[in-house]
């Protein structure tokens, strides 16, 4: 068992989220907005997709020393070992049985020939790929689909039947059905891909012959870590400073306003770039602290989250300050202070709960922009470590291959598909959260 | 008014001082010039002498804040803080670390290509977004609006990198309408900047049109709009004469604040299309770990942003007669 820094923080965050959701489920004030999300089909489907991504990310966050080699691998790596270990020599197209480029080979009679060599793993079980490949892929895919579809369908139908007649459920009948369908498709898709992956490279291989599907799946964790840990670092700063500035005014307000205007006035990309450069120098100086490649990459990821968090709390802080300024003039706060309630109690009991909807909305909204930002930052080389799997690094590596003839399109397509799904789900979910919790949108 | 502007300009100084101190701490205190020299020269097989020379040539051999050896005013001026950080206040950017070029001259030369791409992108993007948003509001509660919203969310969910790569691939490589990347002086530049501008506008539609739509929708609910309709004005007249005019206030002020920053250009656009602007200058500096250039750009960016804030306040009074500066 090896616990990396980001792993530990992810699980802290997970516990926090569970506590928060239990609190929200028990709190009668939260029933109405939660039910509104529960009746929104788009909201529930996108939440399901998000939870699936989170589950993959969590599996990828449990690391241990592998028995065979002395590498640090995650549970997900272990699970995906057929894909992980089936490395080819270099580029190969999706479902290909041959390499992408021609090579000089020696025939049995000794004569050299310029041809496409067979892949070591992809389609290696076929005798004559030209004629068999299509039917074999079809067979393997339908086998994987049927193998998973039957149990998944049975379980889901039973579950839906069991909860069908429950009254007062938060989730409406229609969205429950939509969620069941989503889970069904996700499960069967995963099973089909897994079945195919042990015989083929479903999304091809990259320059060093690594399976692109594996890279894309590994990148999920990086995207999630950046989207969530940044929030974990940003939230305390934004909440404490925002509420204090709005509540106490005077010199506290002036200082905090000065602080965030200063930070805000530096273009954020430049501030991130400057900080990452500084971190790079620091890590180069203290090389002995970072024993293995994965620990080093993990530290860099953590630093990136910290830097992003420190540079991005200003927006939320400003919103919270404005809201607190409004709240402290409200009658119930005035009444509380007239009754002699201590200021600390007023802050915790009257102000904090009433700004929480802003926090919640902005956290969900920020998530997708952070995932997108990671790709851009990695492209400028100020993002995650080049050895970390991330969509930004995938794009960065594949971008120059667009100039090749014929085009190597699969790395870009894979990262596009995964990123688009995650961000779209996050955006749609954020919309339904905002509709449910923003008092201005209640109708 | 003039009094107000003077006060705001004076307020900018503590802000800039804060930025200056922050960059100073980041670049000189957290990492000493010694570390930077070793980073630039490589870590192994580098002699003390080489590091000293490197520092001497670039003026990093001075003490950080207080020079005890110098006499008189030199105690303060003969320091890294005074020479490298304080100089930024009068726009003396010094020389770059890697090839020792004059940063100020480079900036002057490189800001025009940046502006040539960024300004049309902003203006065209603004017009497009407003048109799309107005259309959605005009056809509100219809399938057209629903389709528009869905399209906006989908467009928003695509990373800007894919817009650029896709645009370069389809327009530049497959259709061969314009060159994929590059730049030229004078009117020749036109064919090079068309593609970045088109892509810039396209990639902004999703979030831009959605944001403007909420602004318009807020305005549409108001009483004066209902009165205008009751007078018998047609829906288009109401939208263009009343809603658009009033919603322009938040839109304009949002635009004014980024106007000065247009000089800085866009980092990704410029490096993808190899436009010799300030954005690609910054990226090159980041990649070659040239701290002097990054430091200058951080400071320049902050100055422009603070200038943008000042412009915003002034434009408020110009477009909204209800606001009085005091």
| Of the candidates A396, A258, A361, A369, the residue with the CA atom closest to the CA atom of residue A308 | A369
Q: Smallest CA–CA separation between B71 and chain A, in Å? A: 33
CATH of residue A276's domain is: 1.10.3720
| Of the candidates A134, A420, A388, the residue with the CA atom closest to the CA atom of residue B158 | A420
Of A18 and A72, which is predicted with more confidence? A18
Which CATH superfamily includes the segment(s) B102-317?
MetI-like (1.10.3720.10)
The model's pTM: 0.90
| A127 phi, psi to nearest 5 deg | -85, -45
Neighbouring CB atoms inside 10 A of B4's CB total 15
Query: Does residue A188 form part of some domain?
Result: no
The pLDDT mean for chain B works out to 83
Distance CA B27, CA B21 (A): 10
B221 vs A: CB within 8 A: no
Helices (H), A88-172: 129-163
Q: How is chain B split into domains, by residue range? A: 102-317
Q: Smallest CA–CA separation between B125 and chain A, in Å? A: 20
Q: Report the SS3 class of residue A205.
A: strand
Contact A273 B162 (CB under 8 A): no
Mutate to test the interface with B, among A274, A303, A366 (most CBs of B within 10 A): A274
Chain segment A298-350, per-residue pLDDT in tens: 888 999 999 999 888 998 999 999 999 988 888 999 999 899 999 889 998 88
Chain segment B271-296, per-residue pLDDT in tens: 888 888 898 888 888 888 787 888 88
Following DSSP, what letter does each residue of B105-122 receive, concatenated? HHHHHHHHHHHHHHHHHH
Interface of B with A in 232-291 (CB under 8 A): 261, 264, 267-268, 271, 282-283, 286-287, 289, 291
Mutate to test the interface with B, among A277, A383, A443 (most CBs of B within 10 A): A277
Q: Is the pLDDT of residue A45 over 90?
A: yes
- The boundaries of the domain holding residue A276 are 219-429
| Of the candidates B249, B245, B170, B243, the residue with the CA atom closest to the CA atom of residue B202 | B170
Distance CA B259, CA B119 (A): 8
B150 vs A: CB within 8 A: no
Query: Does residue A395 form part of some domain?
Result: yes
* Residue A442, pLDDT score: 54
Bridge partners (DSSP) listed for residue A103: A115
Query: Does residue A383 form part of some domain?
Result: yes
Number of separate domains in chain A: 1
Distance CA B37, CA B27 (A): 12
* Residue B44, pLDDT score: 65
Q: Report the SS3 class of residue A56.
A: helix
In angstroms, the Cα distances linking A84 to A2, A215, A294 are: 20, 9, 16
Q: Is the pLDDT of residue A421 over 50?
A: yes
Q: Are strands A103-106 and A112-115 parallel, antiparallel or unpaired?
A: antiparallel
Q: Report the SS3 class of residue A91.
A: coil
Please state the rounded mean pLDDT for residues B165-171: 87
Q: Is the pLDDT of residue B123 over 90?
A: yes
Pair A201, A122: CB distance under 8 Å: yes
Q: Is the pLDDT of residue A228 over 60?
A: yes
The pLDDT mean for chain A works out to 86
What value of ipTM does the predicted structure carry? 0.86
DSSP state of A14: H
Distance CA A256, CA A250 (A): 10
Token pair belonging to A15: 């516990």
Pair A91, A101: CB distance under 8 Å: yes
Please state the rounded mean pLDDT for residues A29-54: 90
């Amino acid at each position: 068992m090896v616990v990396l820094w980001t792993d530990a923080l992810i699980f802290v965050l997970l516990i926090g989220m569970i506590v928060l959701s239990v609190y929200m489920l028990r709190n009668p004030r939260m029933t109405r907005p939660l039910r509104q999300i529960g009746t929104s089909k788009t909201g529930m489907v996108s939440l399901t997709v998000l939870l699936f991504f989170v589950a993959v990310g969590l599996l990828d966050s449990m690391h241990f020393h592998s028995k065979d080699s002395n590498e640090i691998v995650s549970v997900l790596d272990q699970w995906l070992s057929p894909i992980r270990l089936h490395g080819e020599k270099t580029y190969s197209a999706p479902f290909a049985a041959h390499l992408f480029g021609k090579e000089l080979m020696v025939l049995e009679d000794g004569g050299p020939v310029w041809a496409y060599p067979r892949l070591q793993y992809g389609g290696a079980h076929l005798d004559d790929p030209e004629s068999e490949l299509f039917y074999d892929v079809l067979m393997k895919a339908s086998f994987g689909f049927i193998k998973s579809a039957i149990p998944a369908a049975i379980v889901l139908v039973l579950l839906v039947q069991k909860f069908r007649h429950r009254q007062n459920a938060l989730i409406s009948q229609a969205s429950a059905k939509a969620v069941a369908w989503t889970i069904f498709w996700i499960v069967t898709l995963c099973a089909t891909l897994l079945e195919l992956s042990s015989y083929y490279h479903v999304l091809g291989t990259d320059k060093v012959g690594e399976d692109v599907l594996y890279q894309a799946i590994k990148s999920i964790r990086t995207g999630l870590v950046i989207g969530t840990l940044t929030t974990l670092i940003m939230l305390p700063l934004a909440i404490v400073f925002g509420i204090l500035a709005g509540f106490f005014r005077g010199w506290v307000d002036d200082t905090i306003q000065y602080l965030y205007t200063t930070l805000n006035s530096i273009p954020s990309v430049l501030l991130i770039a400057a900080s990452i450069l500084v971190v790079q120098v620091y890590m180069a100086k203290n090389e002995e602290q970072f024993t293995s490649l994965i620990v080093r990459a993990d530290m860099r990821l953590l630093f990136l989250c910290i830097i992003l968090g420190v540079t991005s709390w200003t927006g939320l802080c400003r919103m919270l300050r404005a809201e607190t300024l409004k709240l402290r003039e409200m009658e119930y706060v005035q009444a509380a202070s007239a009754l002699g309630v201590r200021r600390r109690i007023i802050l915790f009991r009257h102000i904090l709960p009433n700004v929480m909807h802003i926090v919640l909305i902005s956290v969900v909204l920020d998530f997708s922009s952070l995932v997108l930002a990671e790709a851009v930052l990695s492209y400028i080389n100020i993002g995650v470590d080049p050895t970390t799997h991330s969509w930004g690094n995938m794009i960065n590596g594949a971008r120059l291959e667009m100039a090749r003839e014929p085009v190597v399109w699969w790395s870009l397509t894979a990262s596009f598909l995964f990123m688009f799904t995650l961000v779209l789900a996050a955006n749609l979910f954020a919309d339904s959260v905002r509709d449910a919790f923003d008092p201005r949108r209640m109708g | 008014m003039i009094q107000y502007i003077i006060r705001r300009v004076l307020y900018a100084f503590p802000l800039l001082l804060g930025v200056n101190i922050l960059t100073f701490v980041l670049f000189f205190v957290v990492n000493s010039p010694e570390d930077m020299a070793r980073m630039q020269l490589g870590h192994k097989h580098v002699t003390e002498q080489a590091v000293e020379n490197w520092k001497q040539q670039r003026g990093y051999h001075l003490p950080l804040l207080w020079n005890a050896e110098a006499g008189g005013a030199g105690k303060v001026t003969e320091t890294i803080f005074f020479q490298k950080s304080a100089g930024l206040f009068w726009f003396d950017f010094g020389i770059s670390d890697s090839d020792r070029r004059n940063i100020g001259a480079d900036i002057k030369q490189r800001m025009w290509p940046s502006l040539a791409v960024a300004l049309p992108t902003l203006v065209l993007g603004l017009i497009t977004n407003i048109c799309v948003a107005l259309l959605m509001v005009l056809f509100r509660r219809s399938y057209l609006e629903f389709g528009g919203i869905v399209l906006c969310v989908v467009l928003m969910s695509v990373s800007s990198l894919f817009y650029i790569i896709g645009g370069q691939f389809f327009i530049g490589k497959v259709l061969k309408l314009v060159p994929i990347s590059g730049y030229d002086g004078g009117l020749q530049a036109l064919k090079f900047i068309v593609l970045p501008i088109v892509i810039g506008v396209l990639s902004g539609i999703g979030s831009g049109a959605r944001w403007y739509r909420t602004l318009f929708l807020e305005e549409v609910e108001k009483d004066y709009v209902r009165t205008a309709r009751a007078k018998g004005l047609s829906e288009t007249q109401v939208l263009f004469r009343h809603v658009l005019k009033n919603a322009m206030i938040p839109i304009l002020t949002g635009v004014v604040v980024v106007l000065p920053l247009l000089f800085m250009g866009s980092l990704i656009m410029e490096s993808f299309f190899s436009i010799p602007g300030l954005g690609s200058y910054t990226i090159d500096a980041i990649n070659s770990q040239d701290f002097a250039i990054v430091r200058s750009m951080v400071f320049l960016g902050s100055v422009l942003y603070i200038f943008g804030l000042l412009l915003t306040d002034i434009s408020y009074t110009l477009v909204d007669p209800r606001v009085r500066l005091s």
